[in-house]
Structure 1
C-alpha cells in the first residue's frame, strides 16, 4: 500500500505542475488571438487590427492601433532592457553569495545537535559537511534562477497584453477584463507550476545522494527558499525605486504643476512610469510571491523531516506540502473559469466583485481539496518533535492548520480591500479630508494605515495559536502554505492591476476616445484594490513563514529556549525591531533621491523644449528611462546589503541567541510596518482616483481634476507611492529572508558564532 501511495505521489505532483504550465500556455494563446499589429521590413507595421464594424466615429483605427503597437513596443523594450541589466548585477551576487554559502557551511566539522560524529549519518555512512555545503549552494542557485525566471516571464506577458487590453476595451469592458485577467493568469500559473516542478525535481535529484537521510536532504533544500527570496528582495527594491521615481516625477510636474492627465504623451516621464509598472509591480511582485511559496514549502519540509515521517521514510506524508500546492493548482484552474468563461462582465460595476469572487471561490474549493489530500497523504496518527518534546497529531489536525491559514488569508485580503477600496468609508473619508489641503490628507491616510493593522494581526495571531496548538511548528508551517495554496489565483488578480494600468496609459497616449479611457480607468481602479489585497496575502504569509523558519532555526542551532530576559537575546530583539525602520528609511530615501532627479528632468524638458506643452513637440522619453534605470540599480544595493549581512554579522559575532532575538524583533515590527505602509499608500492612491472618477455626488462635490482638492489628493498619492510599492512589500521579504538565511547558516553559527562574546 505504501509503495502504491508513493508511486501515486511521484506521479501526481509533476502532473499537476505540467497541467498548470499547460493551462498558462493556453491562456497565453487565447490572449495572442487579440491582434495588435506586426512588423515587416518595408513600412514598419502591417495593418492587422479590428473589424470595420467596430470603427469609432472620427477615429482612424489603423492609426490608433499602430500607435498602440509602438507604445507597447517601447514599454516592452524598456522593461526588458532594465531587467537584463538588473539580472547582470544579480548574477554577480548569486555567484558571490553562493561561494559564501559553500565556504561557511563547508567549514563546519562534526556539527550535530545530537552529538553525532559528523554532520549527517545514514547507517554506517558518514556524510561530510562539504556535501551539505554543495547541495545547499546548488539549491540556492536553483531558487535564485527560478525567482528571476518567474519575474521575467510575468513581465513579458504583461507587456504583451497591455495594448491588447486597450484594443479589446473598444468592444466593451467585459472583453478588456477577460484579456487582462487571462494575462495575469498566465503569470500566476507559470510561477506556481514552475516553482513546484523545480522543487520536486530538486528533491528527487538530491535524494539520489542523501537516500533516506531526510533531515540532511531537506536542510540542504532550504537553500532553495534563500535563493528565491534574495532575488525577490533586489527585484522588489530595484523595481520599486524605478517605478516610483518615474511615477512621482510624472505626477508632481505633470498633474500638479502643468495640470495635464496622468498618462499624457506630453509628459516626459510617462514611458518610464509604464515601464516601472512592469518591472516593479509585475516582475518584482512575481519574485516576491515565489519567494514566499519557496520558503513556506522549505520550512514545512524541513520541520517534517525531523518528525516521525522522516523516521519511517514515508515519502507521501513527507511530500504533504507539495501535494497541497498541487491541489492548489487544480483548484485555481477551476476558479479561473468563473472569471473568464462562466460569468460575463457587462458593466464596470461588476469588475471588482468578480475579482473578489475569485478569492472566495478559490478558498471554498481549496478547503475541500485540503480535506481530500490530508486524509489521502497522511497517516491517521503520527508524532511530531518540537523543541525536545513529542506531540501526537492526527491527520485532521493538519487539515485544520492548513484551512485556518487559508481562511486567515481571506480575512486579511478582505480587510485590506475594505481599507483601500474607494467603495467604502475609510478611503472616502481620506478623499473628503483633501478639501482642507494635503496636510489633513496625510494625517487621515496615516491614521487609516495604523488602524488597518488591527484585524490582520488578530487573524495572524489566531492562526498561529490554533495551528501551533494542533501541530506545533509544523502546523504553523503548513498554515503559511495554506495561505499561499491559491497563489495562482492571487497572482492572477494581482498582475491584472498593472496590466490594466498600462492599458489605460496606452489609451491616453494613443489618443483614444474618452469612453475607452473610462473603461480602462475602471479596470485600473479595481486593479489597485486587488494589488493591495495581494500585498496583504504576501505580508500575512510572511509572518507565518518567518515564524516557522524561526522555529526550524532554533531547532537546528541547538537552542533549548530563547530567554528574552538575557542580555544577548534582548539586545538582538531591540535591534531586530529597529531594522524594518532602518530598511524603510533607506528605500524611501532612495525613491526620494531618484524622484528628485526625475522631477528636475521633467521640469527641464517642459521649460526648454519649445511647443512640448502645446503638443507640437515630442519629449525625450529615453532620458527619463535612463534616470530611473541608473538610480534603481545604484540605490537597490545598500538596502539589500543591510538585509543580507545582518544575519551573518549577528550570528558570527554575537551568536545564535542574539540572532534569535534579531529574528523575533524583525518579525514583530516588520509585519506591523509593512501592513500599515501598504494600506496607507493604497488608500491615498484610491482616494485620488475616487475624486478623479467623480462617480458619486460626494466625489463630484470635492471638485474636478485640477482643483485644489484634487491636487491635495495627488500629493498624498505621491507620498504613498514609495510606501505601498517599495518599502511596504519589501518588508515582508526582509523578515522571511533573514529567517531562512539564519536557518541555512545555522550549523556555522552554532559552531563558530559568537566570536565577540568569546573574546570578551
Structure 2
C-alpha cells in the first residue's frame, strides 16, 4: 500500500459514511407522526434552533472573514517576506475548515429537530422503537460529522501536501467550534436555568409544562448547545488529532510517506468500524437503553482493534505505532467507564448526592463538588499513562529524535478518537430524547410514553457525561500531540534561519515558568466569563418569565386561552448568547499571542503546558459534577428520597441548576479553547521565534 491508495481508502470510507447517514435520515423521516400538538411544538423548536444558528453563523462568518485576511497577510509568515502561495493555501484551508465545522452543526440541528418528534410518538408503541428513532437520528450526525472531517483532511493533504495548510484547516474547525460551543452553551443554559428556577422551584410545575414561557427556548437550547455545539466540538477534536499526527508524520517521513499513510488508514478503519456499529445497534431483551448504547460502543471498539491489527499484519506496518494507538483507544474506554460511575443514576455517587439533598442545597453542592473532583483522577491518570506508554513505545524507533515519541502520542489521540462516529451518535441521542420527553409531556401522549422517555432521557444524560469525558480526554491527548506539532514547526523554522531549535521546555527557566502560570489561569478565566454570561442572560429571562406569569391572565392556572409568549424568551436567549460568545474566545487567543511576543517560543511552550493541565482538570471536574447533579435530580424525581415536590427535590433542582453551566457551557468549551490556543501557537510559531521581548 502507498499513500495514494491510503488517501483513496479514506475518501471512499468517508463517502460510505455519508451513504449510511442518508439512509438513517430517510428512515427517521419515514417514521409516523400524527399528533398535532407534538407537530406544532416540534416546529417551534425547529424554527427557534434554525433562527439561532442562522444569526450565529452570520456573526461568525464576519469573524472568520477577518481572521482569514489576517492569515493571508501574516501567516505562516508575512506575505511580503515569504512565498505568497503558502499564505493563500493556509487562508483557503482555514475557510474550508470553518465551513465544514459549520456544516457539522447544521446537519445535527436538521436531523435532531425531526428525530425528537419521531421518538416522542414512537414512545406510545414502546421503548425499542422510541430508542431506535433517537439513536438513528443521532447516528445521522455521527456519520456525517466524522465523514466530513476525514474527507476534509484527506482533500487538503491531497491538494497541498503542506503542513501549514492542514494547520490552517484545523484552526478553522477549532475556532468556529470554540464560538459555536460557547454560544450554544450560553443559550441552552440560559433557558434551562431560568425554566427550572421559576417553574420547578418557585411554582412547582413539571419540567416541560407548556405554561412555562421558557420551555420552548429550553428545548431549542438542547439542540443548539448539545447537538450543533458538540458536533462542531468533536469535528474539531477529530480534525486536530489527525492534523497533529500528519504534521509530525510529514517531518518524519522525509518524502517516503509511510507514517502519513498509517494515519489515513487507521482513521478510515475507525470510521468504517463506527459505520458498522451504528448499523447493527439494537436494544436487547433487557430493554435497558444504557446497556444498548454502551454495548454498541464496545462492539465498535472491538471491531476497530481487530481490523487495525489485521491491516498492520498484512501490510507490515510498524507494530509499535499500532500499540500506541490501541493505548489511546483503551484509555478512552476507561475514561468512559469512570464518567459512567460518577454520573450514572444506578451508581453510589448519584445515590449519595440524592440522599444528601434531604439536608438542603448546601449539602447537594458540597457532595457534588467533592465527587466531581474525585472523578478527575481516573481520567487524568489514564491520559498520563497512555501518553507515557505511547511515547516510550514509539521513541524506540529512533531514540535520538524526540519527534518519534510525540508522534506516538498523536497516534494515541487518533486511536482514542477512532470510534468518534459512534461517540457522536451516542451524544446526539441525548438531546434528541430529552426533547422527545418534553414533547410527550406537552402533547399529552400518556404516562406510559412519559415513563419510557424518562428512561431514555436518563440514559441520555449518562451517555452525555461519558461522551463529554471522552471528548475532553481525547482533547487532552490531542493537545499533548499539538505541543509536539508546535515544537516541530518551531524547529523547521529555526533550521531555515540557522537558529537553535528546542527539544524540551525547562520549567526552571523563568520565561517558561512565566508562560506556565499565565496558561494555567486562562481556562479558569475563560470558564468564569462563559458562566457569567449565563448568569446575566438567565436573570433577564427570569424577569421575563415573571412578567408573563403576572401579566397574562390565566397563564399560571393553565387556562386554554392563556398562551405564553415563547418567542420573547427565545429572543432573550438568542440575543444574549450572541453578545456573550465572542469575548471569552478572543481573550484566550489574545493571551496566547501576548505571551508569544513577550517570551517567545519557550514562554509559549510553558503557556501550553499550563493550559493543558489546568484546562483538563477543570473540564473533567465541571462535566462530571454537572452530570452527577442532573441525574441526582432525576433519581429523586423517580420517587426516591421523597420524590417530586419534597425538600430533597428542591435541593436537587438547585444542584442541577448550578451544574447546568458546568456541564453544558464551560466544561465542554474548555477542551476546544485548549485546542484553539495550541493551533494558534503552531501557526504563529515562526513569528514567535523571531519577534519577542524576552527569552
Q: Does TM, scored on the shorter chain, surpass 0.5?
A: yes
**Structure 1 residues 689, 450: CA separation in 2 closer, same or farther (over 3 Å shift)?**
same
- Alignment partners' CA distance in 2, 1:310 and 1:669: 35
Shift of 1:704: 2.2
> Residue 541 of structure 1: which of 466, 474, 477 is its match?
474
Structure 2 counterpart of 1:19? 16
Shift of 1:8: 3.1
Q: Look up the SS of the partner of 2:281 in the other structure.
A: helix
Paired residue for 2:154? 200
**Which residue of the partner structure matches residue 415 of structure 2?**
482
TM-score (norm 2): 0.95
CA-CA distance at 1:346 after TM superposition? 6.0
Matching residue of 1:421: 344
Q: Does 2:410 align with 1:468?
A: no
> How far apart are the structure 1 equivalents of 2:160 and 2:630?
47
Task: Find the counterpart in structure 2 of residue 404 from structure 1.
Answer: 327
Query: 1:554 offset after TM fit, Å?
Result: 1.8
Give the conservation status (yes or no) of the 8 Å contact 2:76–2:686: no
Is the Cα–Cα contact under 8 Å of residues 370 and 402 in structure 1 kept in the other structure? no
1:448 correspondence with 2:367: no
Cα distance, 1:651 vs. partner?
1.4
Aligned counterparts of 1:284 and 1:328: Cα–Cα separation in 2: 23
Offset at 1:109? 8.3
**1:262 and 1:285 mapped to 2: Cα distance?**
23
Equivalents in 1 of 2:165, 2:291: separation in Å? 43
Question: CA 1:178 to 1:465, structure 2 compared with 1: closer, same or farther past 3 Å?
Answer: same
| Structure 1 residue 660: Cα displacement | 1.1
Query: Which residue of structure 2 aligns with residue 135 of structure 1?
Result: 89
Q: Does 1:719 align with 2:658?
A: yes
Residue in structure 1 matched with residue 400 of structure 2 by the alignment: none
Corresponding position of 2:293: 355
Which residue pairs with 1:585 in the alignment?
Answer: 528
Q: How does 1:36-185 map to 2 (within 5 A)?
A: 36=33, 49=34, 65-105=35-75, 107-108=77-78, 128-185=82-139
Q: Select 1:311's aligned residue among 229, 249, 255.
A: 255
CA–CA distance in structure 2, aligned partners of residues 106 and 270 of structure 1: 47
Q: Does the 8 Å contact 2:248/2:488 carry over to 1? A: no
1:108 CA drift (Å): 4.2
Question: Whole-Å Cα distance in 2 between the matches of residues 231 and 268 of structure 1?
Answer: 31
- Matching of residues 339-738 of structure 1 within 5 Å: 339-340=281-282, 343-344=283-284, 347=287, 350-376=288-314, 379=317, 395-471=318-394, 472-558=405-491, 559-560=501-502, 561-616=504-559, 617-694=562-639, 699=640, 702-738=641-677
Taking the aligned partners of 1:639 and 1:499, their CA distance within structure 2 comes to: 28
Equivalents in 1 of 2:3, 2:517: separation in Å? 47
Give the secondary-structure state (helix, strand or coil) at the position aligned to 1:706.
Answer: coil
Shift of residue 32 of structure 1? Answer: 1.3
1:219 Cα deviation after fit: 2.7
Whether contact under 8 Å (1:105, 1:129) holds in the other structure is no
RMSD: 1.5
User: CA offsets per residue over residues 137-183 of structure 1, 9 Å max, x none?
Assistant: 11111111111100110111000110110011111010000010000
TM-score (norm 1): 0.87
Partner secondary structure for residue 705 of structure 1:
coil
> Paired residue for 1:58?
none
SS at 2:226 equivalent: helix
Is 1:744 equivalent to 2:688 in the alignment?
no
Shift of 1:563: 1.5
Alpha carbons 1:144, 1:230 under 8 Å: kept = yes
Alignment match of 1:325 (pick from 267, 277, 280):
267
Query: Contact 2:73 / 2:79 at 8 angstroms: preserved in 1?
Result: no
Are 2:3 and 2:261, in contact at CA under 8 Å, matched by a contact in 1? no
Deviations 1:548-587 (A, max 9, x none): 1111112322342312111111011011111111111111
Q: Is the 8 A contact 1:268 1:619 kept in 2?
A: yes
The 1-side partners of 2:603 and 2:314 are apart by 42
- Looking at structure 2, the residues matched to 129 and 739 of structure 1 have their Cα atoms a distance apart, in angstroms, of 24
Question: In structure 2, how many angstroms separate the alpha carbons of the residues matched to 1:577 and 1:150?
Answer: 31
Deviation (angstroms), 1:6? 4.3
* Greater Rg by CA: 1
How many aligned residue pairs are there?
673
Q: Which residue of 2 aligns with 1:210?
A: none
Q: Which residue of 1 aligns with 2:401?
A: none
| 8 Å Cα contact 1:106/1:129 also seen in 2 | no
SS of 2:206's equivalent? coil
Note if contact 1:174-1:346 (Cα within 8 Å) is conserved in structure 2. no
Structure 2: stretches of 5+ with no match in the other structure: 395-404, 492-500
Per the alignment, residue 57 of structure 1 pairs with: none
> How big is the shift at 1:26?
0.5
Structure 1 SS opposite 2:207: coil
State the shift of 1:9 in Å.
2.2
Instruction: Give the CA deviation at 1:106.
Output: 6.0
CA contact (8 A) 1:106 1:130 kept: no
Distance in 2 separating the partners of 1:333 and 1:567:
50
Does the 8 Å CA contact 2:237/2:478 hold for their aligned counterparts?
yes
- Give the Cα separation in 2 of the matches to 1:377 and 1:497: 39
User: Which residue pairs with 1:757 in the alignment?
Assistant: 694
Instruction: Check conservation: 1:655, 1:750, Cα contact below 8 A.
Output: yes
- Give the gaps of 5 or more residues in structure 1: 37-48, 50-64, 111-117, 119-127, 208-216, 380-394
User: Is the alpha carbon distance of 1:10 and 1:233 closer, same or farther for their aligned partners in structure 2, counting shifts above 3 Å?
Assistant: closer
